[in-house]
Chain A
């Protein structure tokens, strides 16, 4: 396997005509876009628009049927293992192991990503301080409130200092205050140079992104900053933009 990164530039994600077909069904249809280093990129779309399929390809979990994608400098078709090593991932459903203690979860994931023991130890101390988690360090993750778990899961997803982290509906079902605190963690991560690729069904959260793409029927129908999108669609909120675009959806599928 070729271990050299494909590109060295400010682009952390670049997709060119990326396509995924399942039999006669084209789930992702020729999408092209780039994400800059340190950017918060919102990836929106109706259920069934093809978001999950596209995200799985970008994470090296599904091989494209056509087109090309480079993530964190590696080819998503020929260097999937290197892609996985250089990204972070967190979803609403997958968080951490409830039956392991906070520090055990961190050690496990740090180890999986090939971090050295002393590096894990040092960074764990630092993280516990930043999160104000020092009293929770030896507690089972299952005993933590949902908000704590989400914050910890996010911190673990970027613990190995990936170039880009993929967040799949990270705030679903979380109370309004914790939801906002979570976004403050995202801002903090981007200030350290980590790129954030995020999907959400909360349209107010779309406003927190630097740029937003909206997928309809497998294609990217709009891509710009929230401010420009609102101007372009003559809407007062991102919800207004989304409603106009997603109504064009002909897919009833998820």
Chain B
């Protein structure tokens, strides 16, 4: 039995203000200026998460990540399809699911007027347990904020709020943890630390469904789903997704990087060219080109100190290729 099973789930919202549909398993036919929902059966999304797996939902704001989390945590009902968590149906067995899952919403949702300790105590009590009973599970995380346990949650920094929220989501020893964008707006060092904590939780057998807009975090998941506009572009291990990249990919550099970008974009042979830190990632229509030929081609337009290397794509390269269809 999988920890999470999702079959043809869809949930479409119509926002009168934006005149658009949002949600998950979105029907691409539901565009602008259509006020009526039409059958979405064929466009629902499906996936399974194994026990003890870290499964990442990776995509930009507005892709439908939060809608999916709310359906699985039994907070909203899907329009169609079915889903089960720990073998329990999200509609019929919602009470059972709520006992077993931990949920850290994207927006900070603890009680701002309660102290750190009071918040944790409150969540433990709601789930009929005590801090002491499951202290082992939250110890690593909670110890970092314990010096501030008398401080009100509203007065905590962003990083500390994140740690308190994770502690509260864990205090009843859930079997499945739902983390909706836990690292958004968090600096790269704290993000690394946070993923270290997730690895430890995984080692204790907890299944984790986590969403993030940061593509570099994808490689820290066992499997990922790339999501855009309410649809999955791909579900697989990060390694397999990288392997399935369709073209040869080069990293190119010269002394004048912005000119290099515009020059390459203007070139007829260029398929795609995007800035990637101090390099540009380039794919050409012709994969037979050699590195030397490409270098000569770039030097012809007056570039100095040209470096061309064939490279392995990143998840971000893959996302861009897949999202362009």
Contact = CB atoms under 8 A, between A and B. Distances in A.
B215 interface: yes
Interface in A104-151: 140, 142-143, 145-146
A143 B18 contact: yes
Interface in B8-26: 17-20
A173 B61 contact: yes
A146 B62 contact: yes
B158 A47 contact: yes
B276 A204 contact: yes
A180 B188 contact: no
Nearest to A246: B189
A247 B192 CA distance: 11
B186 A47 contact: yes
Interface residues of B, number: 43
A176 B320 CA distance: 7
A243 B189 contact: yes
Contacts of A177: 274, 320, 323-324
A48 B20 contact: no
Instruction: Count chain B CB atoms within 10 A of each CB in A176, A183, A187 and give the residue with the most.
Output: A176
Contacts of A172: 184-185, 213
B187 A201 contact: yes
Contact of B59 (A99, A175, A243): A175
19 contacts: A47-B157, A99-B17, A140-B17, A140-B19, A143-B17, A146-B60, A173-B60, A174-B213, A175-B60, A176-B215, A176-B316, A176-B320, A177-B323, A180-B275, A201-B185, A201-B188, A243-B189, A252-B145, A254-B161
Interface of B: 17-20, 32, 59-62, 144-145, 148, 156-161, 184-192, 213-215, 228, 258, 261, 274-278, 316, 319-320, 323-324
Given A47-B185, A246-B187, 6 more contacts: A45-B187, A47-B186, A143-B32, A172-B213, A238-B277, A254-B160
The 9 A-B pairs at the shortest CB distance, nearest first, are namely A254-B157, A175-B60, A173-B61, A204-B277, A254-B158, A207-B277, A246-B189, A253-B157, A46-B187
